[in-house]
């Protein structure tokens, strides 16, 4: 009994889950915590000391394992997508070299990189939508772990001008990518145009365990992302910044969240330029959010900041 009490003291109290399903979900991840996996901290539990923010000098690759490192949009019509996001979010686009007939653009907002817009390849389908990329030490080894789990690897591993990469479909077919280095050292989730990534999934705890195992979240070496359960969602943090959030939803998929000057203006522009409003703007003026979709139905979130 004393050893059980000691184990409970180290783990902290379980969250005040509402309903049988939430309690069952939390109970299901406790063995994973004891095995040294994700450090899921309930809202009422004590938090460990925050890691210092990692601000690296220009030209230095970000080495936080498992952290978002890039974003791309695989679109059925990259030129039309570029026009839509320029009108709605105020981006400008720089043409990039690519195969004839398949335009690629680097999206910028106020000079800061957002990601790439490109024509979808046949492997990804007509429109794969927004694809978040996560930094790993070894793309090939990570792809091997994905295949052991039964995940679908749609692209790669292959070598590009910015290093090794791969694109896979994770739990419940949520598409994401892997990179061994960021294409642009200026890009950082949680700073600049990209506020965070959001994974919408019916089981946030199972998804956290799966992605945590593959991407190396919650390691003890100090160079990995940390994971925390708080306010009904799972937050993925790089230092002091929340770079991703896992949220309960009936459908599954990764969604980017972009910073805008005014969420209401962005929502009106999306409707006016062929997109639609999935969830109208809500919240206080300084943090007002809305969920929108582009002309091809790819969802994204905007937050005023």
Q: Name the nearest CA neighbour of 169 among 205, 224, 125.
A: 125
As a three-state string, the secondary structure of the chain is: CHHHHHHHHHHCCCCCCCCHHHHHHHHHHHHHHHCCCCCCCCCCCCCCCCCCCCCCCCCCCCCCECCEEEEEEEECCHHHHHHHHHHHHCCEEEEECCCCCCCEEEEEECCEEEEEEEECCCCCCCCCEEEEEEECCCHHHHHHHHHHCCCEEEEEEEEECCEEEEEEECHHHCEEEEECCCCCCCCCCCCCCEEEEEEEECCHHHHHHHHHHHHCCCCCCCCECEEEEECCEEEEEECCEEEEEEEECCCCEEEEEEEECCHHHHHHHHHHCCCEEEEEEECCHHHCEEEEECCCCCEEEEEEC
Contact 156, 201 (CB under 8 A): no
Listed in sequence order, the residues at least 6 apart from 298 whose beta carbon sits closer than 8 Å to its beta carbon are 73, 75, 127, 129, 130
Query: What confidence score (pLDDT) does residue 219 get?
Result: 73
How many residues are listed for the chain in this entry? 305
Question: What number of other Cβ atoms are within 10 A of residue 186's Cβ?
Answer: 12
Query: What confidence score (pLDDT) does residue 86 get?
Result: 96
- For the chain, the straight-line distance linking the first and the last C-alpha, in angstroms and rounded, comes to 51
Q: Name the nearest CA neighbour of 130 among 32, 256, 224, 238.
A: 256
Placement of tokens 């639609």 in the chain:
276
Strand 152-160 to 163-169 pairing:
antiparallel
Which two three-digit tokens encode residue 71?
Answer: 């974003």
Partners of residue 236 on adjacent β-strands = 227, 244
How many CA atoms does the CB half-sphere of 89 hold within 13 Å?
A: 29
Which two three-digit tokens encode residue 268?
Answer: 């009106």
Residue 86 CA, chain-centre distance (Å), reads 22
Alpha carbon distance 203, 196 (integer Å): 20
Q: Name the nearest CA neighbour of 237 among 208, 258, 261.
A: 208
Q: What is the pLDDT along the chain (305 residues), one digit of tens a residue?
A: 555 545 444 444 444 443 344 434 434 433 333 333 444 433 333 333 332 333 334 434 446 889 999 999 998 899 999 999 999 999 999 998 776 767 889 999 999 999 999 987 655 444 578 999 999 989 999 999 998 888 888 888 998 887 899 999 866 778 999 998 888 888 999 989 999 999 999 999 999 998 998 998 987 667 889 999 988 999 999 988 999 999 999 888 999 999 999 999 999 999 999 999 999 999 988 889 999 999 999 999 999 98
């Amino acid at each position: 009994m004393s050893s059980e009490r000691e184990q409970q003291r180290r783990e902290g109290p379980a969250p005040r889950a509402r309903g049988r399903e939430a309690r069952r979900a939390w109970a299901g991840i406790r063995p994973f915590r004891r095995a040294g996996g994700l450090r899921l901290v309930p809202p009422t539990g004590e938090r460990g000391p925050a890691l210092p923010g990692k601000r690296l000098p220009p030209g230095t690759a970000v080495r936080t394992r498992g952290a978002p490192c890039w974003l791309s949009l695989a679109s059925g019509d990259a030129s039309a997508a570029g026009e839509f996001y320029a009108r709605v979010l105020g981006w400008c686009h720089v043409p990039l070299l690519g195969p004839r007939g398949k335009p690629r653009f680097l999206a910028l907002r106020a000079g800061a990189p957002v990601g790439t817009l490109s024509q979808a390849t046949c492997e990804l389908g007509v429109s794969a939508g927004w694809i978040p990329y996560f930094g790993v030490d070894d793309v090939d080894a990570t792809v091997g772990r994905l295949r052991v789990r039964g995940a679908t690897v749609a692209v790669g591993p292959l070598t590009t001008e910015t290093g090794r990469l791969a694109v896979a479909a994770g739990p419940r077919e949520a598409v994401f990518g892997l990179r061994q280095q960021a294409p642009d050292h200026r890009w950082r989730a949680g700073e600049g145009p990209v506020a965070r990534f959001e994974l919408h999934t019916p089981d946030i705890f199972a998804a956290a365990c799966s992605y945590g195992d593959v991407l190396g979240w919650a390691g003890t070496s100090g160079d990995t992302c940390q994971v925390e359960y708080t306010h009904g969602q799972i937050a993925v943090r790089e230092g002091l910044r929340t770079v991703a959030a896992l949220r309960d939803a009936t459908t599954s998929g990764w969604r980017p969240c972009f910073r805008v000057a005014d969420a209401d203006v962005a929502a009106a522009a999306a409707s006016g330029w062929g997109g639609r409003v999935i969830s109208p703007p809500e919240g206080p003026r300084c943090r007002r959010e809305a969920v929108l979709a582009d002309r091809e139905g790819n969802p994204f979130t905007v937050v005023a900041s």
